[in-house]
Structure 1
C-alpha cells in the first residue's frame, strides 16, 4: 500500500511544510510581471477566497492565472510549491490527475477543453510580509487550498477526482490516481457482516456526486451509517487506513497530528456510510463523518468510472478556525 513509509518521512523531513512554502511563494511572486501579479495576488479578505470548483476550466471561472500563461521557470516554482505543500504521494496524485486530461483529450478529440495547462494558481495576502496568507491550485478534478496562519496551515477543502476512474485499455489499463481510496472502501463494506451492512448501507442507490459539492461552508450531513463502536478491531483498523489515505496527501508531520487527533478525540463519533453497489464497476458512494471533518467518495458517473473525492473540515475549511483563534489572540494582545 502507498504511504507506508510515513514514520521514515517524518524522521527525514520533520519540518517540511509552511516555512518552505513561504520561501518558494516569495520567489514565485518575485518572478511575476506587474500584470501577472495583479491577476494572481489578491487581498487576503477578497470575496473570492472561498470560491472553488472541480469542473473543467471553461465551466467555472478560476481566480489567478493558468499554467499555460506562466513561463517555464514560473511553472517550475508552482510545482515546487505543490511539492512543499503536499506529501510525496499527494503531489504524485496531483500530477497523475492532471495527466488524465491528456487521456480525455485523446478520447474526446477536444484538446482545448481537456487542457493539462489549464490549472490555475492564485495567492491571497502577502507571504513576504504577513503571517496570514493562502495559495490555491485548482482546475479539473483538483481543488487545493493552503491557508497559512502564523505557524499553522489549513489544507482544506481538498478535492481530488479521476476521469476515467480507471483506465480501461492500453498500457495503463487499470490505473487510477485514487485506487486505494476506492479499493479500501470496497474492502471495508464487504468486510461487514449482514447486520453491520444493514446499518452501514443507508441507500441502495448511489448519489450522482458528492453531497457537499462546492459549497463554501461544509455542513454536517445526516448521521447515516454505522458507528465505529459497532465495528470489530480489524474493521476499525481498515477504516483508519482508509482515512489515512486522505490525510496522507498532506505533509507527514501534519498527517500524523491529524490522525492522532481523530483517534484521541472523535473515534467514538465516526460514522461510515455507504450507498449503492458494493462491487467495482457499479455505482457506489461512501462517506466518513466525524465531529470535525467529512470525507466523501463517489463513483457513479460515466458508468461508474468517474471518481470524485473530498475532505472537508466543518470549522476549519479555508483556515476559518485558525483565523478565528489568531484574530482573538491578536485582539487580546493589544
Structure 2
C-alpha cells in the first residue's frame, strides 16, 4: 500500500492583489485576491475548493485570454492533432506551441499559473529550479548555445472552456508536462523533469539540486536490499545512456518488468519503495496523487537498478507497476546530468480516459 505524505515544503500564499497586466475577466485558480474577486466567464472564481479539472480549465482560459491573436494562433492546436498533442521532447529542439520568450509579462505569468495549478508546491519548485538551470548551463557553456530561461513553450489542445476533451503542455529543455482533461477527469502523464547540472556545489555542499530526493531515495532503497534482493534488482553493471522510453510518444507495450518485485522485499524495503513511488506521484496536486495511489494499491511493483551504487557515478533505476513506468538516469557529464520521467504506457496523453469516453458514447 502506498503511503502518501501530506506535508509539503512550500505553502502557497494568497495573491496580494490584482495584477493590472492580467485581463480582468479571469482570475488565477487559487485563493481569491482581496474583494472584489474577478469572476470567470462561466461564473466561478477559481478557488482552491474547485476540482483540479476546473482549476485547469480556469488557468488555461486565463492564459488564452492573455494572448493576442497571433500568439493564440501559435499556442492553440486541434485536440485531434495527434502529431502535436502526443509529443514529449526534453531536448532543446523546435516544438509545437508559443515560446514564453515571445510573450508579454501577463501571458508568461498566466503560463506559470497554469503550470502551478497542475503541480504540487514542491514539484512546482522543482520545475522553476529546472527552468532556472538554463542560465547556469548557458554560463558554463560560455553562452555559445544562447540558452535562456524563457525558452519554454506552452500549447493548448482544443478549447478549455467549451470542449469536453482538451489538453495542454508546458515544455522546454528538461521539462515536459502534459495534462489531458476529459469532462471532470484529468490524465497527468507524461511528466518529465531533468537537471543539468544535477547539482551545483560550493566546497562539496549543494547550492541547488532539484532532483536530489529522486536520486537519494532510489539509492537508499538499493542500499536496504538484502544480497539476494539486490542481486535481482541490479540488472546491469553499466547504466544505459538515457531513459529507455526516451522521447517516444508511445511507450513500448508490454514493457517487461525488470528487477525485484515488492513482494520479495523486506518490510523496510517495501516501505522505501512505496516512498519512492509516492515521491513521483506527489508531483501532482493531492487530488491526482491520491487517485493514482489508489489505482496502484495492491498491484505488483518492480524496482530495477543499473550501474554503480555510489554517488557521482553513472546510474539508472526504473519502477514499473500497473500502467506505471518511472525512470531515472544520471548518466551524462560524469554523473551530473539527471533525467526523470513518469509515464503511463496505456494512459499517456489521456489514452485511458479517451478510451473510456468512447466506450461510454457507443
- Alpha-carbon distance in structure 2 between the residues aligned to 1:91 and 1:164: 18
Query: How far is 1:135 from its partner?
Result: 0.6
Q: Is the 8 A contact 1:18 1:85 kept in 2?
A: no
Structure 1 residue aligned with 2:196: 163
Task: Count residues with an aligned counterpart.
Answer: 321
Q: Secondary structure of the equivalent of 1:322?
A: helix
Q: Is the 8 A contact 2:224 2:268 kept in 1?
A: no
- Alpha-carbon distance in structure 2 between the residues aligned to 1:120 and 1:95: 14
Q: Secondary structure of the equivalent of 2:316?
A: strand
Q: How does 1:133-172 map to 2 (within 5 A)?
A: 133-169=166-202
Q: How does 1:173-322 map to 2 (within 5 A)?
A: 173=206, 175-219=208-252, 220-264=254-298, 266=299, 269-322=300-353
- Alpha-carbon distance in structure 2 between the residues aligned to 1:155 and 1:131: 16
Alignment TM-score, normalising by the size of structure 1 = 0.91
**Closer, same or farther: CA 62–222 of 1 in aligned 2, 3 Å:** same
Structure 1 residue aligned with 2:68: 33
- Alpha-carbon distance in structure 1 between the residues aligned to 2:204 and 2:146: 24
1:62-101 deviations in whole A, cap 9, x for unaligned? Answer: 1111110111011111111111111111211110100111
Structure 2 residue aligned with 1:118: 151
Query: How far is 1:171 from its partner?
Result: 10
Q: Which runs of 5+ in 2 are unaligned?
A: 12-30, 32-47
- Which of 130, 140, 148 is matched with 1:97 structurally? 130
RMSD after superposition: 2.0
Q: Which runs of 5+ in 1 are unaligned?
A: none
1:241-299 deviations in whole A, cap 9, x for unaligned? Answer: 011111001111210121122123x1xx2110010011110111000011211000001
Structure 1 residue aligned with 2:41: none
Query: How far is 1:193 from its partner?
Result: 1.5
Alignment TM-score, normalising by the size of structure 2 = 0.84
- Alpha-carbon distance in structure 1 between the residues aligned to 2:307 and 2:145: 34
Q: Secondary structure of the equivalent of 2:155?
A: strand
Q: Is the 8 A contact 1:16 1:251 kept in 2?
A: no
- Alpha-carbon distance in structure 2 between the residues aligned to 1:24 and 1:292: 28
1:112-171 deviations in whole A, cap 9, x for unaligned? Answer: 532110000000000121011101000000010011111111111110001111113379
- Give the number of the structure whose residues are more often helix, by fraction: 1
